Amino acid sequence: MSLEVTRKENQQPTPPTGGHNGNGMALLQSMATTHRLRLNPNTEHKPESYEGLHLEFSPLLFSSLERYLPPLMLSHSRDSKLHYMRDIILRYSPEGERTRVQKQREYRQKIISHYQPLHRELYAMHASNFFAPSFLKAINENKEESFRSIMAEPTQGVFTFEMLQPHFCELLLSEVENFEKWVHETKFRIMRPNTMNKFGAVLDDFGLETMLGKLMEDFIRPISKVFFSDVGGSTLDSHHGFVVEYGINRDVELGFHVDDSEVTLNVCLGKQFSGGDLFFRGVRCDKHVNTETQSDEILDYSHVPGRAVLHRGRHRHGARATTSGHRVNLLLWCRSLP
């Protein structure tokens, strides 16, 4: 069996603006030119939180990068560390990428300043209201045996488990519908999640970036650290969060592809539908992404609202046609800084 695989378009998360701190700036500038980041992270260091700051890059990127700072930097203030890390990022970030990131930031700010959320409780993490009790229990225990106790692994590297409460799914569906109504009424031109989906919305673009960042950092990264450490699962630091929609007058199916992520979370939110099964056909590197599928790599998976699928981004997959009804899925592409 041979299928042509498409790589989804790279959509980087938002880039840091940090105010200058006059204290020790000469030292910092000297260090920026004489020091490089550590080769391996300091896993015992607890990084600062960069949430709530007006940054060009994802706050999680800075929290993750802080573990790679040289020891002398770790005792400095948050502002000093932010300036130091930002300087390094900008020195190695192409000008074209910086321009793209700035435009994306302005685009998001324009939406957020005009769109009025319907369910504000979605915009901050409320774990006990969002997640199934079995999932929360496993996360709190944070052991491989606890994770495996709530999971099925129908083929190597594809994990399924109950994750979201029905009420959360309903609220998120309602919020997406409200956003799409606002888009229609204002005739605001939005960017779709990727080049393969013509319907759906980027959740990060209308204010859910912080909540989804917490979802990745506190709930997906602990699992990925255990099962996907070979692809950066323990150092996930940025994400692209979106919903896709399938059915009549929407996308019908999704071609065979790999994701632009290290780890992908895919959760069905609802509604009523028939068809739309996911099919998996094994993990491949770039050189062999279109090679034949082995019999033990074949998996067809039927979506269940609230139930999650977690897999490597390089795990080849696609979605069969949704033959009736309306299916909406939450996707979180989780990435790790190289």
For residue 20, tell me if it sits in a domain.
no
Q: Give me the mean pLDDT over the 183-197 stretch.
A: 87
Structure tokens at 195: 């080049």
For 92, 145, 240, 245, 322, the CA distances from 204, given in Å and listed in that order, are 25, 33, 7, 17, 26
User: Left, alpha or beta for 53 (phi > 0: left; psi -120 to 50: alpha)?
Assistant: beta
Could you report how far apart the first and last alpha carbons of the chain are, in Å? 33
Helices 78-92 and 25-34 sit at what angle, rounded to 10 degrees?
40
Domain annotation covers residue 64: no
**Tokens representing residue 248 in the block:** 């009549």
Helices (H) and strands (E) in the chain, counts: 10, 13
- Look up residue 283 and give its amino acid: V
| Structure-token pair, residue 24 | 């020790």
pLDDT of residue 338: 67
Residue 13 covered by a domain? no
Range of the domain at 297: 121-335
Per the structure block, which two tokens stand in for 145?
């045996």
pLDDT higher than 80, residue 30: no
Give the chain's domain count.
1
pLDDT at 229: 96
110, part of any domain: no
Phi then psi dihedrals of residue 322, to 5 deg:
-85, 110
pLDDT per residue as tens digits for the range 197-221: 778 999 999 999 999 999 999 999 9
Residue among 294, 123, 100 nearest 215 (CA)? 123
- Domain CATH code at residue 192: 2.60.120.620
pLDDT band at residue 250 using 50, 70 and 90 as cut-offs: confident
Q: Would you say residue 69 lies in a domain? A: no
Q: For residue 51, tell me if it sits in a domain.
A: no
pLDDT of residue 27: 40
Give DSSP secondary structure letters for 145-159: HHHHHHEEEEETTEE
Give 36-62 pLDDT, tens digit per residue: 788 888 888 999 988 877 777 778 888
Per-residue confidence (pLDDT) for residue 20, from 0 to 100: 35
Which SS3 state, helix, strand or coil, does residue 53 take?
A: coil
pLDDT at 29 over 70: no
* Cβ neighbours, 10 Å, residue 172: 22
In a domain, 192, yes or no: yes
Does the model's pTM come out above 0.75?
yes
Q: Is residue 15's pLDDT more than 60? A: no
